Amino acid sequence: MIYLDNNSTTQLDPRVLEVMMPFLTSEFGNAASSHTFGRRINNHVKSARENIAALLQCDPGEVVFTSGATEAVNLGLKGVAKNYRSKGNHIITANTEHPAVLDTCKSLEADGYDITYLPVDRDGLIDLMELKAAIKEATILICVMYVNNETGVIQPISDIADTAHEHGALFMCDATQAIGRIPINVYSLGIDLLAFSAHKFYGPKGIGGLFIQHKQPKVKMSPILHGGGHEHGLRSGTLNVPGIVGMAMAAQLAMNEMQRDADHVTMLRTYLEESLLKEENAFLNGSYDHRLYNTANLGFKGIDANVVIGRLQGIALSNGSACTSAIMEPSHVLKAMGLSNEDAYSSIRFSLGRFNSLMDIETTISTIKPLLVNAF
């Protein structure tokens, strides 16, 4: 299998699995237990929290463990919305966000909140002037993702955060595609809340977290899960210790190998992209300059991307978000960027990762080119 769907999920790094194994076997204690066994497990959780905080360059006490980014997004949006309702009920986001954000915002709309969905330009970027114009006195939160999962487009996070703070609003960022791939300092970027998931940076599935700013200003939250008061009372439930330990190891590897991964993957993507864009009627979706180094969303006018993907044997590709791939509709991200239904249906996402090789890319190019001729 040649796996080029790393924005959907990544392969678990064998070194991550190795550190997880004791906590799936002999070290099975509950981190909340008061006996010696439980306290020993809790010490591992504390150490893991420090590793993850180091990746975000934040205080360990500002990291709340969740089951993944989707839960973290729900906790962030709903937790802020509920706690700041007396200040206002207006939230701003972008119409190219992940369904975890968009669906949660729709849920909040049904509860009486006012949501503004910002448009994007042909490159997939929001307009800062349009953002400023959308802010109201009742605006409590602006939520914009760091890196788009379909196109790899990187939003101007620091500028968005500054705009939010200038108007007394909080800034939340879904950094699921960014964490572990590019350096993040939540303080210098001005991020108040940040959602992430381990399985996007070679960690296990079922574990993620939410950074919640405790300083200047301290973000006040209301929980969405109750029962036990775990994670500072914000996320009740027995901690997923194997997952937490695995995510911490993935974070440590990311810090140590981020530049090496970036150099390797950039080389592979450049080769793939330059080769395929030579094809007749091929085009790039998203900003060429403002995007993550591992993602190439390419369109091939006149072809049906689902036909191409279905005919590939042993090569895993995607035509959009894995969370909506079962729905036979054009990508909401590409449509928001101005693509026609036909062009959106003709687009394929290539997302590369740490374990891809030059041979993978060469094989993919030689396999996919003949398919582009008859994929209608």
Identity of the amino acid at 301: K
- Region for residue 318 given its phi and psi (left: phi exceeds 0; alpha: psi -120 to 50; beta: otherwise): beta
Instruction: Looking at the structure, tell me whether residues 169 and 267 fall in a common domain.
Output: no
Domain residues for the domain of 146 are: 14-252
Distance CA 152, CA 307 (A): 23
141-171 confidence digits (pLDDT tens): 999 999 999 999 999 999 999 999 999 999 9
218-269 confidence digits (pLDDT tens): 898 988 888 877 888 788 898 999 999 999 999 999 999 999 999 999 999 9
311-355 confidence digits (pLDDT tens): 998 999 998 655 554 557 899 999 999 999 999 999 999 999 999
Is 274 among the domain residues? Answer: yes
Which of 58, 105, 173, 323 is labelled catalytic? 323
Identity of the amino acid at 33: S
Helices (H), the chain: 14-24, 36-56, 69-83, 99-110, 128-134, 157-166, 186-189, 241-276, 305-311, 332-336, 341-345, 358-371
Instruction: Looking at the structure, tell me whether residues 353 and 308 fall in a common domain.
Output: yes
Please return the burial class of 77, using the count of CB atoms within 10 Å of its CB with bins 0-12, 13-18 and 19+.
Answer: buried
Helices (H), 111-208: 128-134, 157-166, 186-189
Identity of the amino acid at 78: K
Instruction: Looking at the structure, tell me whether residues 37 and 148 fall in a common domain.
Output: yes
Last residue within a domain, chosen from 191, 221, 252: 252
Distance CA 360, CA 46 (A): 39
> Both tokens of residue 65?
């463990």
Last residue within a domain, chosen from 202, 233, 252: 252
Is 375 among the domain residues? Answer: no
Instruction: Looking at the structure, tell me whether residues 160 and 221 fall in a common domain.
Output: yes
Instruction: Looking at the structure, tell me whether residues 171 and 270 fall in a common domain.
Output: no
Instruction: Looking at the structure, tell me whether residues 59 and 169 fall in a common domain.
Output: yes
Q: Is 105 a catalytic residue?
A: no
Give the CA radius of gyration of the chain.
Answer: 21
What angle separates helix 36-56 from helix 241-276, to the nearest 10 degrees? Answer: 30
Provide the percentage of residues in the chain whose pLDDT is more than 70: 97
Distance CA 231, CA 216 (A): 21
Instruction: Looking at the structure, tell me whether residues 33 and 163 fall in a common domain.
Output: yes
